[in-house]
Amino acid sequence: MSTKLKLSTNHISLKVKNLQESFRFYHEILQLPIIRIVGPKDNPRIIWLQGLEISQIKPDDERVPPTKTGFFGHIGFEVENIE
């Protein structure tokens, strides 16, 4: 007998080149509320908005070509029961 998995999306993670510019877009334009800011307010490392985590690409990250503005990090899911 199989049981139906109750699955929902918790958040999407994006790695961006300009954290402040991305924050302004998602928070001020799309009006996603702030959930949590990690790091100093004037230079945060990660910003959690409703349904979205944005973080700064490290300058030495070889996964991102210089022409790209960022990349997809991951999707976080929620399940009712992990068993």
- Cβ neighbors of 80 (< 8 A, separation 6 or more) are 6
Is residue 2 domain-resident? no
* Residue 60, domain CATH: 3.10.180.10
Q: Which two three-digit tokens encode residue 34?
A: 């702030």
Domain with 41, as residue range(s), is 8-77
- The tens place of each residue's pLDDT in the chain, 83 residues long, gives 567 778 888 889 998 888 999 999 999 999 999 999 999 988 899 999 999 999 987 767 666 665 566 777 788 888 887 77
Q: Which of 60, 58, 64, 70 is nearest to 14 (CA)?
A: 70
Count of the separate structural domains present in the chain: 1
